[in-house]
C-alpha cells in the first residue's frame, strides 16, 4: 500500500487549503504561522463548546474573532521588518560620540527631542522632521550618525542598499523604490537609510533617462512619507550634495539638510581616546597627537589605529615580551599616513555648508 496516504500534509499545505476554503488569502509564511495559532484555537474552542470542532469551524472562528486586525497587522509588520533586513542598533554608538562633535547636539535638539517629546513638541507647535539629508566628505561619520540616531531613538534601522533597488535591472529601480516606500508606510518607528543618495537622485539636467525616473519617483515619495502618521525617518546621505537634483533640495521636501564635516581638536581627541581604550597602551601624550591629525576623518583615525595595533601585535609576536603602544609609535604612523581631507575638500565643504545646510 502507498505509505504516503498516511502521512499528514505539511502545515503550510493544510493552512493554505483551509484558508482557501474560508476565502481568506495570506502569504505562505503568514499562513504557516497562523496555522499554529489555529491549531491551538481548535483545541480551545472544542473545550469551550464541549465537542470536537473541525478545522474549518476553528479557522473561521479564529479569523472572525481571534485573528483581529491588530494581530494581523503586527504579524505583517514583523514579516516586513524581516524582509527589509531591519536591525536594532545599540545605544552605545550615540553615547560614545562626544557631545561637542557636530552635528550631535543639532541632531539631539532638532530630531531626537521632538520625536521623543511628542507632547511637548505639539504644545510648542514644533513639527518633528521626517526627511533628512546628511552631507559631507567620505568617512566623516554620516553613516555612523544615522546609526547612532536609530540607536538613540530605539527605532528599527533599515538600510536600502543599491543592490536592493537594482535587483531586476536599472529599468525597475523606480518601481522597486516605490514598492519599498509602500512597505515602509506599513511600519512604525523606523529609520530608513539611503546611502550614496546622489546615485539615485542625481540632477535631472545631467542625468540619463533612468536616473530621471528615479529622481521623479523620489519627488513623488517624499511628500507621501511626510503626510503619513507613522513614525518613519527617511535619512539620505551623500558625499556630493552638489550632484543632487535641485528640486529635491527645495524647502518643503527635506526638513533638514545637515553637514557632517571636519572635526575640531575635541572631536578628534574623543575618537582617538575611544580607539586607544581598546588597545594595549602605555602613557600616551594626547597633546602631541591631536594637533597632528587635523585633516583626519573619523574613518582615517579608525584605520590609523588598526595599523598601530597591528604593528604592536606583530612586534610582540616576534619578541614575546609586552609591547605597549607608545606616543612615538603613533606619531611615526601619522607621519606615514595620508589623511583623506585636503585643503580643497575643506574649502568646498565650507561652501556647501553655506549653500545647502538647512536645520
Ligand atoms: N565619534 C565618531 N564619529 C564619527 N565616526 C566615528 C566616530 N567614532 C568612530 N567612528 C568611525 O569612523 C568611521 C566613519 O565612517 P562613516 O560613518 O562610514 O562615514 P561616511 O558615512 O561619512 O562615509 C566609521 O567606521 C565609524 O565607526
Ligand atoms: Mg557612509
Measured CA to CA, the distance from residue 266 to residue 101 in angstroms comes to 8
Q: What is the CATH number of domain 265-340?
A: 1.10.8.60
pLDDT at 62: 78
Residue among 93, 136, 144 to mutate when testing ligand 1 (max atoms within 8 A of CB)? 144
Residue among 299, 300, 301 to mutate when testing ligand 1 (max atoms within 8 A of CB)? 299
- Please check whether residue 241 is in contact with residue 202, taking contact to mean a CB–CB distance below 8 angstroms: no
Beta strand pairing call for 256-259 and 131-135: parallel
Q: CATH 3.40.50.300 spans which residues of the chain?
A: 92-261+348-356
Residue among 97, 298, 349 to mutate when testing ligand 1 (max atoms within 8 A of CB)? 298
> What is the 258 CA–ligand 1 centroid distance (Å)?
16
- Please check whether residue 258 is in contact with residue 107, taking contact to mean a CB–CB distance below 8 angstroms: yes
pLDDT at 71: 64
pLDDT at 2: 43
Q: CATH 1.10.8.60 spans which residues of the chain?
A: 265-340
CA-101 nearest atom, ligand 1:
1
Counting as low any pLDDT under 50, the low residues of the chain are 1-6
> What is the 101 CA–ligand 1 centroid distance (Å)?
12
pLDDT at 258: 97
> What is the 195 CA–ligand 2 centroid distance (Å)?
6
pLDDT at 8: 54
> What is the 215 CA–ligand 1 centroid distance (Å)?
28
Cis peptide before 103 (omega within 30 of 0): yes
The three-state secondary structure class of 170 is helix
Whether domain 92-261+348-356 has CATH 3.40.50.10490: the reply is: no
- Please check whether residue 237 is in contact with residue 196, taking contact to mean a CB–CB distance below 8 angstroms: yes
Cis peptide before 38 (omega within 30 of 0): no
Residue 20, all three cell numbers? 482557501
pLDDT at 114: 95
> What is the 63 CA–ligand 1 centroid distance (Å)?
48
Nearest-ligand number for the alpha carbon of 258: 1
- Give residues (CB < 6 A) around ligand 1: 97, 101, 136, 138-144, 237, 271, 274, 298-299, 302
Amino acid at each position: 500500500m502507498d505509505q504516503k496516504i498516511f502521512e499528514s500534509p505539511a502545515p503550510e499545505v493544510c493552512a493554505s487549503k483551509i484558508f482557501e476554503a474560508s476565502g481568506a488569502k495570506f502569504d505562505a509564511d503568514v499562513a504557516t504561522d497562523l496555522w499554529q495559532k489555529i491549531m491551538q484555537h481548535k483545541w480551545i474552542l472544542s473545550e469551550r463548546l464541549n465537542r470536537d470542532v473541525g478545522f474549518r469551524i476553528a479557522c473561521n472562528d479564529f479569523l472572525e474573532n481571534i485573528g483581529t486586525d491588530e494581530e494581523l497587522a503586527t504579524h505583517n509588520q514583523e514579516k516586513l521588518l524581516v524582509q527589509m533586513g531591519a536591525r536594532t542598533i545599540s545605544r552605545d554608538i550615540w553615547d560614545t560620540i562626544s557631545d561637542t562633535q557636530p552635528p550631535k547636539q543639532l541632531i539631539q535638539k532638532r530630531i531626537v527631542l521632538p520625536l521623543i517629546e511628542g507632547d511637548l513638541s505639539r504644545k510648542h507647535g514644533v513639527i518633528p522632521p521626517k526627511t533628512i539629508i546628511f552631507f559631507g566628505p567620505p568617512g566623516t561619520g554620516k553613516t555612523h550618525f544615522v546609526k547612532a540616531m536609530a540607536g538613540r531613538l530605539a527605532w528599527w534601522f533599515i538600510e536600502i542598499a543599491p543592490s536592493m533597488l537594482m535587483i531586476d535591472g536599472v529599468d525597475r529601480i523606480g518601481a522597486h523604490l516605490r514598492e519599498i516606500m509602500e512597505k515602509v508606510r506599513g511600519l512604525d518607528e523606523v529609520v530608513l537609510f539611503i546611502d550614496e543618495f546622489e546615485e539615485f537622485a542625481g540632477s535631472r539636467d545631467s542625468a540619463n533617462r533612468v536616473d530621471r525616473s528615479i529622481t521623479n519617483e523620489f519627488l513623488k515619495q517624499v511628500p507621501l512619507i511626510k503626510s503619513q502618521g507613522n513614525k518613519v525617518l527617511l535619512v539620505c546621505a551623500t558625499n556630493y550634495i552638489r550632484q543632487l537634483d535641485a528640486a529635491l533640495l527645495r524647502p518643503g521636501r527635506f526638513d533638514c539638510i545637515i553637514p557632517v564635516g571636519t572635526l575640531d581638536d575635541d572631536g578628534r581627541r574623543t575618537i582617538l581616546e575611544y580607539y586607544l581604550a581598546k588597545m594595549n597602551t602605555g602613557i600616551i601624550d594626547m597633546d602631541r597627537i591631536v594637533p597632528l591629525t587635523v585633516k583626519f576623518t573619523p574613518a582615517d583615525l579608525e584605520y590609523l589605529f588598526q595599523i598601530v595595533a597591528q604593528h604592536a601585535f606583530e612586534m610582540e609576536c616576534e619578541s614575546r615580551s609586552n609591547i605597549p603602544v607608545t606616543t612615538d609609535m603613533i606619531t611615526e604612523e601619522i607621519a606615514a599616513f595620508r589623511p583623506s581631507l585636503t585643503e580643497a575638500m575643506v574649502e568646498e565643504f565650507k561652501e556647501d555648508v553655506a549653500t545647502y545646510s538647512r536645520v
